[in-house]
Amino acid sequence: MSGRELACDTVIVSTGIRPNVQLAKDARIAWGDGIRVDDNMRTSVADVYAVGECAEHRGRVYGLVAPGLEQASVAVSHLLGDAGSYQGSLASTRLKVAGSHVLSMGPMGARDELHRGDRHVWRDPETGRYRVLLVRRHRLEGVVAIGQWDDAARVQSAITDKALIWPWQLWRFARTGNLWPDGEAQDVNAWPASALVCQCKSVNRGALSDAMTGGACSVQALRECTGASSVCGSCKPLLEQLLGSKSPDPVPWHKTLFVTAMLSLLAALAMLFAPVIPYAQTVQATWQWDLLWRDGLLKQISGFTVLGLFALGLLLSPRKRLKRLQALGRFDGWRLAHIALGLLVIVALVAHTGLRLGDGLNAILMISFTVMLLLGALSSGVISLEHRVGGALASRLRRQSVWWHILWFWPVPVALGFHVLKTYWY
């Protein structure tokens, strides 16, 4: 120690690791930056293996615990005669520096190829949080973050699984710093099975769920069974959250909602696949049902009925956001009315078209309308059965079905507007 003093707020010491390869040199085992190994963790000398921070695999040395555990697992499997092989690890580091959470995953270091994808940066000057995504061909390659990030485990899973990152997710990231909606990644039960819960022991959510199914009903039992939370203990709250999961209570009137959803589903399928209603074969028939789509006035009445019912159904969206509407009855009743209106829309469409899809713009409108109603019926069915499915699967199915129903809504008003304009213009 020289006794020299530095006037500063923070000192960063970057030491890294340097594998001790002296033993490999003495034994005439191939070495480079570390002791070179193949995909089975074997060195250049038969029956000699190397794992961990001393091993160099495909020109890379991992100075982290998790890759060493993965390498050890492959080496043991090969020694036991299994066919497993090591394909490399995701370089992932999560730690605290001067009280701030720091995260780095994937090829984000100075020696890695940062030009291999598009960089997306988000920062919050008020809190000092900073995040960078590296996306290549719509898949997440790497990430760097400073500050607490509740989505960290799910981000790591997305990199490992090479999950698709959609444009609207990047748009959300640019605005909020998150790839998924708020709260979606908070619940460990909603994490993918491959998402790591315990990084120290490389234990994912799927392994923990399997252990719980096998009878592990406490943190201690999960620790003994999987090794999770046996090193640093930082994942203990996640284990407690996982153990506290239970199936949700059924939504009010779930049986009525299910029946209405199934009727809407069958009606929407009939719109797509049922044969058209034929015109009357003679003018002498007692009831000329085909007047519904031949008579101009009746066509206008049925058409505006469809439009009116559709507009009433849209009130469910402002009901969620406007306090004045929230005071008018429970949301469960509004949702049931929304589904019933969808069923009435299908009845009005049958009266308006006779199950004829039409051509051109009319066909686009009919198909868009019907698919939107079909997805709405499916989402309502999922909601009514959510208490039976339970867990992360129920939450994911509900979220995705409702999302697709809303997404398919947007082409309908545009096509409907052109349809009305075309009808009265010509």
* Three-state secondary structure readout of the chain: CCCCCCCCCCCCCCCCCCCCCHHHHHCCCCECCCEEECCCCECCCCCCECCHHHEEECCEECCCHHHHHHHHHHHHHHHCCCCCCCCCCCCEEEEEECCEEEEEECCCCCCCCHHHCEEEEEEECCCCEEEEEEEECCEEEEEEEECCCCCHHHHHHHHHCCCECCHHHHHHHHHHCCCCCCCCCCCHHHCCCCCEEECCCCEEHHHHHHHHHCCCCCHHHHHHHHCCCCCCCCCHHHHHHHHCCCCCCCCCCHHHHHHHHHHHHHHHHHHHHCCCCCCCCCCCCCCCCCHHHHCHHHHHHHHHHHHHHHHHHCCHHHHHHCHHHHCCCCHHHHHHHHHHHHHHHHHHHHHHHCCCCCCHHHHHHHHHHHHHHHHHHHHHHHHHCHHHHCHHHHHHHHHHHHHHHHHHHCHHHHHHHHHHHHHHHC
Question: 7 lies in a domain?
Answer: no
| Domain's final residue, options 183, 217, 243 | 243
Question: 196 lies in a domain?
Answer: yes
pLDDT exceeds cutoff 70 at 181: yes
98 and 71 belong to one structural domain = no
Average pLDDT, the chain: 78
114 and 223 belong to one structural domain = yes
337 and 379 belong to one structural domain = yes
What integer pLDDT is reported at residue 348 of this predicted model?
84
Question: 2 lies in a domain?
Answer: no
Question: 293 lies in a domain?
Answer: yes
53 and 146 belong to one structural domain = no
pLDDT classification of 261: cutoffs 50, 70, 90: confident
Top-ranked range on mean pLDDT: pick from 252-256, 394-398, 404-408: 252-256
| Domain's final residue, options 187, 219, 243 | 243
137 and 37 belong to one structural domain = no
Question: 16 lies in a domain?
Answer: no
186 and 324 belong to one structural domain = no
pLDDT classification of 297: cutoffs 50, 70, 90: confident
Question: 84 lies in a domain?
Answer: no
pLDDT classification of 114: cutoffs 50, 70, 90: low
* Domain count within the chain: 3
What integer pLDDT is reported at residue 122 of this predicted model?
92
415 and 332 belong to one structural domain = yes
158 and 212 belong to one structural domain = yes
Higher per-residue confidence, 11 vs 287? 11
72 and 114 belong to one structural domain = no
- Range(s) of the domain holding residue 406: 254-278+288-425
Higher per-residue confidence, 321 vs 376? 376
Question: 10 lies in a domain?
Answer: no
pLDDT exceeds cutoff 60 at 66: yes
pLDDT classification of 366: cutoffs 50, 70, 90: confident
CATH number of the domain to which 28 belongs: 3.50.50.60
235 and 302 belong to one structural domain = no
324 and 304 belong to one structural domain = yes
What integer pLDDT is reported at residue 131 of this predicted model?
92
pLDDT classification of 29: cutoffs 50, 70, 90: very high
pLDDT classification of 233: cutoffs 50, 70, 90: low
Question: 412 lies in a domain?
Answer: yes
212 and 292 belong to one structural domain = no
What integer pLDDT is reported at residue 51 of this predicted model?
93
CATH number of the domain to which 140 belongs: 3.30.390.30
pLDDT exceeds cutoff 80 at 360: no
pLDDT exceeds cutoff 80 at 189: no
